[in-house]
Structure 1
Amino acid sequence: MAEVKKLKTRDEIESKYKWNIEKVYEDVQHWEKDFEKLKNQALKLKEFSGKLKDPKELLSYLKLKEEVSRLAEMIFVYAHLRADEDTANTTFQTLKNKIDGYLAELGSMNAFFVPEILSLPEEELRKNIKEIKELNMYDFMIEDILLMKPHVLSKELEEVLASVSDCLDAPSNIFGMLTNADMTFPVIKDEEGNEVELTEVNYGTFIRSKDRRVREEAFKALFDTYGKFKSTLTSSLTSSVKNFIFSSKTRKYESALESSLKPNNIPVEVYHNAINTINKHIDSLHRYVRVKKKLLGLDEIHMYDLYVPVIDIPKEHIEFEDAVNIVKDGLKPLGEEYLNIFQEGVNKGWIDVFENKGKRGGAYSWGCYDSMPYVLLNYNYNINDVSTLAHEMGHSIHSYYSRKDQPFIYANYTLFCAEVASTTNEALLIHHLIDKEKDENRKLYLINQELEQIRTTVFRQLMFAEFELVVHESIEKGNPLNNNDLCTIWHDLNVKYFGPDMIVDKEIDMEWARIPHFYRDFYVYQYATGYAAASAFAKSILEDGEKAVERYKGFLKSGGSDYPINILKKAGVDMTTPKPLEATINRFNELLDMLEK
């Protein structure tokens, strides 16, 4: 009998493949010492309450707040990274729990700041900021707070809203409990005829199965189960939407959409433009369906055929060092400085490479203003892992530039910008891999990978965004929606998006019910806008060379020093126009041309 291959423990992983976390704290004793220091320093914050009218006191408070925040970040990052190395290590789990518990307390010590700033006479506040040189850099931060003044309520009403926040979150919690804990799916037969209990996790494998019977069986079993709970799921989603509308009206926004976008100063036109643009070019997705139907050799294409790969390639084994070289080759258009930073990250211990027993799954980029960027991987030697390396290092190098060029208060970038740098790296890498690939089958596989990325990140997410808009606007107008209404809206959108070749099976009508992001209002469109911005950057970098690279690096260096729309516009990507999204759709069409040849 073959020996079972066991997962390595943390100690068995070579140090060159582990992040250099000791650069944050040498050991737990140093961490504990700083934690005590943090708790003592933070107490001084409360002493500034009621004194911020005096510009010298305001400056002293902001300096102390930065000092406390930077220390808290270091403590927080160390505890969480160590805890993620081995989730069974009780020492580091304890550190994590200690700082997590303390941060709520720290937040309450700073809670007076925004209400007090908003209570001050605006012109006097602006005058003080201009006249005191050291306060100048806080100008954008203060203006951002003042922008929200029309939507900040009285102290009493804010307290009331805060006290019912748990109740307002109840629909999301009910959805989570129902779909994660209470809902069970039937047993189906896999490719070998074995009986397997269907779950949300293994559904992703079954829907990509080469065996069409398996795909269809999994598809019907999943959505028929959701259908049995459609009244409850309709109630949870519409209640969530009503709660969001209630909050937006209470805060005097013109619409729920405005209340979601305005805090980042994003015009509502950006949302509408994205949906309108995708609708103008919906025939590109119809063409994709036709091409996929042909390549799969199907007489009819159904919704359960969408995820099956059209091309197979032999399993690969790519060593991590080779992955680094592949990514660097793909990122050569970004220039020597960028590649040197990338290599510095590899050499100096930014990356925790391999899976070990107890290590957290997935991948992320993290760190803080006073640490190096850190990347968690669970590298498993395939091409998707190579792409993940490019993606996460995109985040980390964005953070590296941002922290190097911005003061602490502007070093963090918004969610609207967060996925741009990571996706730009992925776009440059896949362009490079497709262009240099000589093996026809492998080239087609890579082309299909990028097509699927655009289909799922741009077309699919904007279909989701359109559904959200229809539902919110209907309820805002006082039109209640029942389960048949939601299913009809979803069915009609699928018919529109996938076109005449697609048989839109009735089971898909319940798909809206399994999307957790619908409980975070108007969130999903940012996947599409982020991808479109990245696609536009990649195209200009490849076509315009050094000038485009410098503009792009300007974006990476901007952090949160301005609103995301302005930061992108300065770098040459105007998200208030359809151009970035149109560039992505043009790339989609180019890839379809390659696939059809």
Structure 2
Amino acid sequence: MAKAQALPLRKDVPVPLTWDLTTVYKNDDAFETDFSFIQDQIKVISQLAGTLENSADALLKATDLYLDLNRKLEKVYVYAQLKNDQDTSENKYQAMFSRVEALAAKFAAAVSWFDPELLKLTETQMKQYYQTAPKLTNYKRLFDQTFKQRGHILSNDVEAVLAGAGDIFSSGEKTFGILDNTDLPFPVVTDDNGNQVQLSQGVYGILLESTNQKVRKQAFQKLYEVYGQFQHTLAATLTTNVKNHNFKATVRNYHSALEAALAANEVPTNVYENLIEVVNKHLDLLHRYVALRKRILNLDELHMYDLYTSLIGKKSPKYSFDQSKKIALEALQVMGPDYVNHVKEAFGNRWIDVVENRYKRSGGYSSGTYDTNPFILLNWKDNLDNLYTLIHETGHSMHSYYATHNQPYQYGDYSIFVAEIASTTNENILTDYLLDKFKDDTAMKKVILNYYLDGFKGTVFRQTQFAEFEQYIHEQDAKGQPLTADFLDKYYKHLNAKYYGDAVISDDEIGLEWSRIPHFYYNFYVYQYATGFAAASTLADGITSGSADHVEKYLNFLKSGSSDTPTNVMKKAGVDMTKPDYLEHAFEIFERRLNEFEKLTETES
């Protein structure tokens, strides 16, 4: 038997392929200095409780200190999180991240009085305060966001208890993370070349792209064999998380956990409802695509593990990390020189942690804070999907860069709701670039169309399926239904069958998919992948048309941060996400490209 190919240890990863966290803190001692400072100042800010009604200057003093401490807390949090994520087995950084989480909970408890006290100030008082201390006008939108929460913010004592229990409320998510990233014992499986490889989240994704159905089937069954062994524990961690959301929504006087989650981002629930309604309306397109997949692959039975292999009869094109950076820069030229120069800065200054190493957090993300550059975590594999992941996460990072460099700290972040719009706009620009580049190359055009259709399936259809599942389990828990592993398995399999239709067999293992999705712990996050992709379709169409006006509007959107509500920011960029039109437009593009792909494949059949 060939020796299993083990992932490298962190210390064996080449330095140029790791992120440079010394730009955050030169060393751990510098981190400890800020950590200690925050600890000391937490005592100071807690003593300001009861002062906001005294004077405008008292409000200004409390607000300035609140934001200054929060800004420094974000920096220590990001440093500890990134250190932990690069190697989740390292006890030192596990402990560091745990300490920061506990510190964040203490800080939240220490400032929990602020919003209830702010709500005691009347509109007349606030007008007087703005006149007396004009610097307060810099925080007007920040204050207005709190005033919108009247009826949902509780008394000082209750807010202090909820804030102090933040670490406890996150226990389900933390337990899942440790299990999923460190403790689950994934087996060795056989790859396309007959090599024995250790299964991981990253390797699993590659094996599902295999043209060998036996390889796909083995990876699928072996992965879910592991999750199946732990499904009752994972049902308990997910239930803890759902109960956390429902409890907080109830005590804060929201009708549902969904309403509470979306209200936190100033997003009306009709945005979520429109998404599920419009996607369900167009499930026939997904059924049609799945049936096409079965025909092209010439399979008597199409299984869930057959949905990621290429439809063009070969593996995904290989793109090294260096090649992918070059392609991304070429595609993004339509964004203008300023944008491209900042992307070059990210690519050339170790903002990216590239390769997968043992115990590294799975997946990919962009992270950072106001006083750091944006960092990107990848688990690189040489394929088209990782090229798209690179340009996707670069979109997040450029959004962060423009927001932090054009807004004051209090508005230098942006709503989670619009975050996925920047990333998927980049994806759509890349697709347009590649389709144009290979317009006379039928084989490559098929590859790109195949990838786009699969991407749409995964981003719009699949994430909406997740969103529908997430809403359902919260509603069921609120009704008193126990979220047992058996209950979750059965419903998830039923929902999967509805989405993918009769052409595919919803294998029993797919009922376990809920147990390995980290986003179910993010409190109604996944729907934004779908809404973001659909909105990005409209934005990318305008940008790739060559119109400078569309580019300017888009860059202004990136620069806006949280200076306005997310739906208003998007309206200014040209997309009204409170209406279903942008979703319908996305499905028109999908159907057009599905038609094109069908014609190309029928010509050769």
TM-based fold match above 0.5: yes
Q: CA deviation at 1:292?
A: 0.9
Which secondary structure does the structure 1 equivalent of 2:366 belong to?
strand
**Runs of at least 5 residues in structure 2 that lack an aligned partner in the other structure:** 601-605
Distance 2:106 2:274 in 1: 42
Alignment-derived partner of residue 275 in structure 2: 274
Q: Give the letter for the 1:549 counterpart.
A: V
> Matches of residues 74-113 of structure 1 in structure 2 within 5 Å?
74-77=75-78, 102-113=103-114
Q: CA deviation at 1:81?
A: 5.6
Which secondary structure does the structure 2 equivalent of 1:149 belong to?
coil
- Structure 1 residues 272 and 330: alpha-carbon distance in aligned structure 2, compared to 1, 3 A threshold: same
Distance 2:443 2:223 in 1: 33
Distance 1:281 1:461 in 2: 14
Q: Give the letter for the 1:339 counterpart.
A: V
Q: CA deviation at 1:285?
A: 0.5
Alignment-derived partner of residue 542 in structure 2: 540
Distance 2:64 2:58 in 1: 10
Alignment-derived partner of residue 497 in structure 1: 499
Q: CA deviation at 1:513?
A: 4.6
Instruction: Report if the CA contact (8 A) 2:316-2:384 is conserved.
Output: no
> Matches of residues 162-561 of structure 1 in structure 2 within 5 Å?
203-219=204-220, 241=242, 244-311=245-312, 312-313=314-315, 316=318, 318=320, 320=322, 322-346=323-347, 349=349, 351-352=351-352, 355=355, 360=360, 363-376=364-377, 382-437=383-438, 438-474=440-476, 476=478, 486-487=488-489, 489-543=491-545, 545-561=547-563
Distance 1:443 1:374 in 2: 32
Instruction: Report if the CA contact (8 A) 1:238-1:481 is conserved.
Output: yes
- Structure 1 residues 148 and 530: alpha-carbon distance in aligned structure 2, compared to 1, 3 A threshold: same
- Structure 1 residues 490 and 26: alpha-carbon distance in aligned structure 2, compared to 1, 3 A threshold: closer
Instruction: Report if the CA contact (8 A) 2:275-2:464 is conserved.
Output: yes
Q: CA deviation at 1:499?
A: 2.5
Q: CA deviation at 1:214?
A: 4.2
- Structure 1 residues 102 and 237: alpha-carbon distance in aligned structure 2, compared to 1, 3 A threshold: closer
Instruction: Report if the CA contact (8 A) 2:370-2:409 is conserved.
Output: yes
Question: Which moved further from structure 2: 163-172 or 511-520?
Answer: 163-172
Matched, 1:49 2:49: yes
Q: CA deviation at 1:481?
A: 7.4
Instruction: Report if the CA contact (8 A) 1:13-1:356 is conserved.
Output: no
Q: Give the letter for the 1:140 counterpart.
A: R
Instruction: Report if the CA contact (8 A) 1:351-1:377 is conserved.
Output: no
- Structure 1 residues 409 and 279: alpha-carbon distance in aligned structure 2, compared to 1, 3 A threshold: same
Which secondary structure does the structure 2 equivalent of 1:51 belong to?
coil
- Structure 1 residues 18 and 588: alpha-carbon distance in aligned structure 2, compared to 1, 3 A threshold: same
After superposition, the C-alpha distances for 1:429-453 in whole angstroms (9 at most, x for unaligned) are 1221122025433332222222211
- Structure 1 residues 358 and 510: alpha-carbon distance in aligned structure 2, compared to 1, 3 A threshold: closer
Q: Give the letter for the 2:254 counterpart.
A: Y
Which secondary structure does the structure 2 equivalent of 1:264 belong to?
coil
**Runs of at least 5 residues in structure 1 that lack an aligned partner in the other structure:** none
Compute the TM-score of the two structures, normalised by the length of structure 1: 0.83
Alignment-derived partner of residue 564 in structure 1: 566
Distance 1:178 1:30 in 2: 31
Q: CA deviation at 1:296?
A: 0.7
Matched, 1:59 2:60: yes
Matched, 1:587 2:593: no
Distance 1:6 1:235 in 2: 30
Distance 2:229 2:30 in 1: 55
Q: CA deviation at 1:276?
A: 0.7
Q: CA deviation at 1:242?
A: 5.1
Q: CA deviation at 1:492?
A: 3.8
Instruction: Report if the CA contact (8 A) 2:6-2:197 is conserved.
Output: no
After superposition, the C-alpha distances for 1:231-267 in whole angstroms (9 at most, x for unaligned) are 7766765675455434322322122321221222211
Compute the TM-score of the two structures, normalised by the length of structure 2: 0.82
Instruction: Report if the CA contact (8 A) 1:87-1:93 is conserved.
Output: yes
Which secondary structure does the structure 2 equivalent of 1:48 belong to?
coil
After superposition, the C-alpha distances for 1:551-593 in whole angstroms (9 at most, x for unaligned) are 1112101111222222212211211111222232223223323
Which secondary structure does the structure 2 equivalent of 1:365 belong to?
strand
Larger of the two Rg values belongs to structure:
1
Question: Which moved further from structure 2: 62-71 or 214-223?
Answer: 214-223
Q: CA deviation at 1:353?
A: 6.1
Q: CA deviation at 1:300?
A: 3.0
- Structure 1 residues 103 and 295: alpha-carbon distance in aligned structure 2, compared to 1, 3 A threshold: same
Instruction: Report if the CA contact (8 A) 2:460-2:530 is conserved.
Output: yes
Q: Give the letter for the 1:343 counterpart.
A: K
Instruction: Report if the CA contact (8 A) 1:487-1:510 is conserved.
Output: yes
Instruction: Report if the CA contact (8 A) 1:273-1:577 is conserved.
Output: yes
Distance 1:65 1:243 in 2: 26
Alignment-derived partner of residue 132 in structure 1: 133
Q: CA deviation at 1:7?
A: 6.5
- Structure 1 residues 426 and 225: alpha-carbon distance in aligned structure 2, compared to 1, 3 A threshold: closer
After superposition, the C-alpha distances for 1:426-479 in whole angstroms (9 at most, x for unaligned) are 221122112202543333222222221111111011122223334444554567
Q: CA deviation at 1:356?
A: 9.5
Matched, 1:574 2:576: yes
Which secondary structure does the structure 1 equivalent of 2:151 belong to?
helix
Q: CA deviation at 1:364?
A: 3.9
Instruction: Report if the CA contact (8 A) 2:304-2:507 is conserved.
Output: yes
Distance 2:79 2:65 in 1: 22
Distance 1:46 1:112 in 2: 8
Question: Which moved further from structure 2: 66-75 or 5-14?
Answer: 5-14
Distance 2:406 2:432 in 1: 29
Q: Give the letter for the 1:287 counterpart.
A: R
